[in-house]
Amino acid sequence: MTANKLKIHVRKPTAAAAIFDIDGQVTNTAEDALMTAYTHSTRDGARSIVLNFSGLDYMNSSGIGLLVTMLIRVQRNKQKLLAYGLTAHYREIFELTRLNEAIGIYADEASALAAA
């Protein structure tokens, strides 16, 4: 799934978890790709969404807003939102915005899946 400078590859390592491999930029143009990936994944039974930020080039405040929108949907559906692959810079942004209190942040894919 693509939105301008963003590609999202969705993997389902388990029946209850979906991993979104994020490659590129998460900005206001990413909404369609993120929400389409989320809708398809939950329709296919995912109860946990794992965001892989290893390929993230850039995220701005609009991108953070999209993550908050996704978080609200996840919480309404009693699902989990987890992440891994954040650089030190983006970990700091997650801490400043307190997203790290709502989105589980993990060191690697295995840790995130174990928590899912």
CA 60 – CA 81 distance, rounded (Å): 19
Strands 6-14 and 2-3: antiparallel
pLDDT of residue 1: 53
CA 49 – CA 81 distance, rounded (Å): 5
Average pLDDT, the chain: 94
Global pTM reads: 0.93
pLDDT digits (tens, 9 = 90+) for 71-102: 999 999 999 999 999 999 999 999 999 999 99
Residue range 2-98 in CATH 3.40.1190.20: no
Query: What does the pLDDT average to over 5-34?
Result: 95
HEC string of the chain equals CEECCEEEEEEEEECCEEEEEEEEEECHHHHHHHHHHHHHHHHCCCCEEEEEEEEEEEECHHHHHHHHHHHHHHHHCCCEEEEECCCHHHHHHHHHCCHHHCCEEECCHHHHHHHC
pLDDT of residue 2: 47
User: Domain map of the chain by residue range?
Assistant: 2-98
CA 38 – CA 81 distance, rounded (Å): 11
pLDDT above 70 as % of the chain: 97
Total length of the chain: 116
Query: What does the pLDDT average to over 35-59?
Result: 95
Residue 40 CB partners (closer than 8 Å, separation 6+): 10
C-alpha Rg value of the chain to the nearest Å = 13
More confident residue, 1 or 109: 109
Does pLDDT of 3 surpass 50?
no
